[in-house]
Structure 1
Amino acid sequence: MMQCLHAFVSGRVQGVWFRQSTVETAVAHGLNGWVRNLDDGRVELMAKGNEHGLLQLEAWLSIGPKLATVAEVKSERLENTEEFDGFVII
């Protein structure tokens, strides 16, 4: 069963390859969706896939790539019927 994860990540998460690393991590776990920078310095993402893949991505978000310093991850599961084609940066 496909589920959807909507998350906001704050800290030092822009300009440190966070979005590209999120794409790579999501694709490695068979997820589809998108990731983007927000004007307030956070990163937002929507990921859709199986529970295991979403749990793996959610765990990775609290660490992020090598240059990032994650302060907080706020996430929620949503019922989402939207279809995504791959995982992209928007």
Structure 2
Amino acid sequence: MLKTISIIVSGKVQGVWYRKYTVDKATELGISGFVKNLPDDSVYILATGTDEQLNALVQWCYIGSPKSRVEKVEVKEEELQVMSGFVVRR
């Protein structure tokens, strides 16, 4: 069963290719949605997938890109949103 979650990742996550690596990981996991930078230097992810897919993405968010330093990952369940593919939004 599909569900949608939002994830806010804080720390050193902008300017370190975090969004690109998120797209790669989400695509690998078969998750749809998007990732974008927020004005407060955090990253926002909206992702739709199965529990297993989303749990794997959340666990990955704690690691992030090679140069990122993740301090906090906040996850919230959202109303189901069916999207096609996983992209960077600006």
Report if TM-score (shorter chain) is over 0.5.
yes
- Quote the residue 2:53 is aligned against: 53
SS at match of 1:25: helix
Structure 2 segments unaligned to the other structure (5+ residues): none
- Quote the residue 2:82 is aligned against: 83
TM-score scaled by structure 2?
0.95
- Quote the residue 2:41 is aligned against: 41
Q: What is the root-mean-square deviation in Å for CA atoms of aligned residues?
A: 0.8
TM-score scaled by structure 1?
0.95
- Quote the residue 2:63 is aligned against: 63
Deviations, residues 36-74 of structure 1 (Å, cap 9, x unaligned)? 001110000100011111000000001111100000001
Runs of 4+ in 1 over 2 A off after TM superposition: none
User: Is 1:22 matched up with 2:15?
Assistant: no
How many residue pairs match? The answer is 89
Structure 1 segments unaligned to the other structure (5+ residues): none
Percent identical pairs in the alignment equals 37
Distance 1:50 1:83 in 2: 12
